[in-house]
Amino acid sequence: MPEATNDVVWAWIGTGSPWTLLWLWLALINLVTFLVFGFDKLKAKYKEKHEGARRVPEKTLFLLAALGGSVGALLGMRVWRHKTLHRSFRIGIPLILAVQILIPAGLWLYWNVVR
């Protein structure tokens, strides 16, 4: 039985549809971004006790959000209560998400309505 399930999943992925690949990318990048926010929060707590703990650079957190993980970043901020006091994150992450929604929506409107 598990083999049949795996075959269905690989057949679905193997279609090579751009939409399939996009959804897979978005699921993966959002999961990774969410987990990285949690990892950085853990490191932040650890660093309070130990000076040698290395943190995830803020540039990396923003890059993950910009690569499609903005929903994961927002969830990570809320669930882990991480970076919520930083103005750059409170404004920047929702702004990245808005751009990621508005640009495709604008292109769709232009392509299907205006044109």
Return the pLDDT at 12: 58
Return the pLDDT at 88: 97
Residue burial 15-27, b: 16+ Cβ < 10 Å; e: rest? eeeeeeeeeeebe
Banded pLDDT at 85 (limits 50, 70, 90):
very high
In the chain, the amino acid numbered 32 is: V
pTM of the full structure: 0.82
Banded pLDDT at 7 (limits 50, 70, 90):
low
How much of the chain exceeds pLDDT 90, in percent? 71
Q: Look at residue 4 and tell me whether its pLDDT is greater than 80.
A: no
For residue range 14-46, list pLDDT tens digits in order.
667 888 899 999 999 999 999 999 999 999 988
Return the pLDDT at 46: 84
Neighbours of 75 (CB within 10 A): 17
